[in-house]
Amino acid sequence: MCGAKVGGLSVEGINTTKEAVIQGQVLRGTGDDATPVAGAYVRLLDKSGEFTAEVPTSATGHFRFFAGDGQWTLRTLAPKADPVDRVVQAQTGSVAEVQISI
């Protein structure tokens, strides 16, 4: 996991013209009271709902996947929270930034 910076994960060193990147942050709560969730798990599911990959969130609640083009579902699993699903579109040459509130 790359180090966190204000505004999200740095993509320095990643050739984003050749990669489809899905990244973001898991937060508990919303607005000014939101806090990062470390140690949650974010799963990457393909368009048919099949498991593809899973990563734990960093100390700052961040995660990152390199995915193929198309529609994906992020399933977030964290203690004391119901699972949260978010649909995201990945495209080579772009970074899909996702914020997930639990």
Contacts of 52 (CB under 8 A, 6+ apart): 43, 44, 45, 46, 67, 72
Give the domain ranges of the chain: 4-101
What are the beta bridge partners of residue 56?
41
Query: Does residue 20 register a pLDDT over 50?
Result: yes
Give pLDDT, residue 15: 67
Percent of the chain with pLDDT over 70: 89
Contacts of 12 (CB under 8 A, 6+ apart): none
Query: Does residue 5 register a pLDDT over 60?
Result: no
Question: How many residues are present in the chain?
Answer: 102
Closest CA to 55 of 28, 74, 29: 74
pTM for the model stands at: 0.85
User: Selecting from 1.10.3720.10, 3.40.930.10, 2.60.40.10, 3.40.50.970, what CATH number does the domain 4-101 have?
Assistant: 2.60.40.10
